[in-house]
Amino acid sequence: MRRDSLFYQLFAQLPQTLFDLLGIDTPQGYRFDSVELKQTAFRIDGVFMPPDPSGIVYFCEVQFQRDNSFYERFFAEIFLYLRLYRHTFSDWQAVVIYPHRQAEQVSFDPYEVLVNSHRLRRVYLNELGSLEGLPLSLALMQLTVLPEAEMPTAARLLAERTRTEAVPRPEVIIELITTIVLYKFTELSREEVLRMLGFTTEELKRTRFYQEVYAEAREEGLQEGRAQGREEGRQEGRQQGLQQGLQQGLQQGETLVVLRQLRRRFGELPAGLEERIRQLPVHQIEALAEALLDFTALEEVFAWLEHST
């Protein structure tokens, strides 16, 4: 995933981030979008469009690599937009986000007047301040530029702030933290990142990641159970077969969740282990689903089975 796509997600999910950067109260009704300018090859990745023509349009660009023609392109895109959509706003402002000052181009000629004017705000993420004192939206931005060694501690801090502070849409912030960490630690699974952030078993079960995996596996099991139940119902001529099949489908859904989680953690499972898990009754499948989130080695699964069955 490219870093600018992380910022696109951040702006799309939390559009107040731009106004936190500018230090102004978030106005109502703004819409964030990526705008393609007609009959050109230009695309402005970040445009905050006002809800009515009396508002200010904001152009935002994330620039993590030095490009000595960046301002030439950026201002060309802006002025073309102004020409095409002048009826949709009353004024404009531009914001460029850099990881640090060294990423900015060396010479501003012939755009120095614009670069140094009130029209352009340049933000350097490494100069925003401490994570503890920043709004969560800006702390998420700063998280993207931290060294790998500092990121786990910082990510846990932000996850804890999300739990303890009165923030809107905390589930969105947790998803963004997880995505940013996954971008840095590509060898980790999403579940491992969530565990790294300090989630308890119950909190992990409430995340969108776990619920999606659970829902998918449960639906697979339910469909299998329905098919099996219908077949048994036809063969036996009784409604009991269908009901029994549906119940088996629910159990299969729970089992598929457990097996899928184990494969994510430990890779391909021994055939004997998988079969043993499939034979577990519902209450033990549910207990194993709870316990496996704390397992760190496949041996612990065998030990749990020996102790619990």
Per-residue pLDDT of 231-255, as tens digits, reads 555 555 444 544 454 445 455 667 7
Instruction: Assign 101 a pLDDT band (cuts: 50, 70, 90).
Output: very high
pLDDT of residue 301: 87
Q: How far is CA 226 from CA 159, 202, 230, 231, in A?
A: 40, 30, 6, 9
At 223, list the tokens.
């469909």
Q: How far is CA 110 from CA 69, 72, 75, 84, 106, in A?
A: 11, 9, 11, 24, 12
Amino acid, res. 87: H
**pLDDT tens string 103-133:** 999 999 899 999 999 999 999 999 999 888 8
The CATH number of 3-127 is 3.40.1350
pLDDT of residue 42: 65
Average pLDDT, the chain: 80
- Choose among 303, 307, 294: nearest CA to 273: 303
The mean pLDDT of 267-272, rounded to a whole number, is: 81
pLDDT of residue 44: 77
The mean pLDDT of 14-29, rounded to a whole number, is: 90
Between CA 245 and CA 49 the distance in angstroms is 54
What are the start and end residues of each CATH 3.40.1350 domain in the chain? 3-127
pLDDT > 70 in the chain, percent? 77
Q: What secondary structure letter does DSSP report for 62?
A: E
Instruction: Assign 2 a pLDDT band (cuts: 50, 70, 90).
Output: low
- Choose among 304, 298, 245, 246: nearest CA to 280: 304
